[in-house]
Amino acid sequence: MSNNPVDIMKICVTAKESGIDAQVEERFGRAPYFVFIDEETGDAATVLNTGAGGAGGVGIKSAQIMVDNGAKVVITGQVGGNANSALSAAGIAVYTYRAGGSVKDAVAAYQAGTLQRIL
């Protein structure tokens, strides 16, 4: 279990590619992929963000993907206003990661308690 104040089971990291070795994508709604990690088992699953190229509403659609996949924490670079509201309403904590590392690096930083919570 995590030492973070939020008792979580599933973390989502926005990613440029599939898998835990992919680089973190800093844009939440426009992230091509979402990598979901079960914090207890370490299992990871990648979900394609089908709405990433949309003209509008991508943040809200992406927030729905978080809800549908059971994420309790999102790690990303930045979140727009509409996505912020949707994630907040769903009770999903958001942490910022801008170190330019991999999904695995971002999760390690979260577990170490070094990421800043933005929501």
- pLDDT digits over 70-102, tens only? 999 999 999 999 999 999 999 999 999 988 899
pTM of the prediction? Answer: 0.91
Q: What is the pLDDT, as a whole number, of residue 7?
A: 57
- pLDDT digits over 54-77, tens only? 888 999 999 999 999 999 999 999
**Which domains, from first to last, does the chain contain?**
10-117 (3.30.420.130)
Q: What is the pLDDT, as a whole number, of residue 5?
A: 44
Q: Tell the burial category of 83 from Cβ atoms under 10 Å away from its Cβ (0-12, 13-18, 19+).
A: buried
Question: Cα(97)–Cα(14) distance, rounded to whole angstroms?
Answer: 10
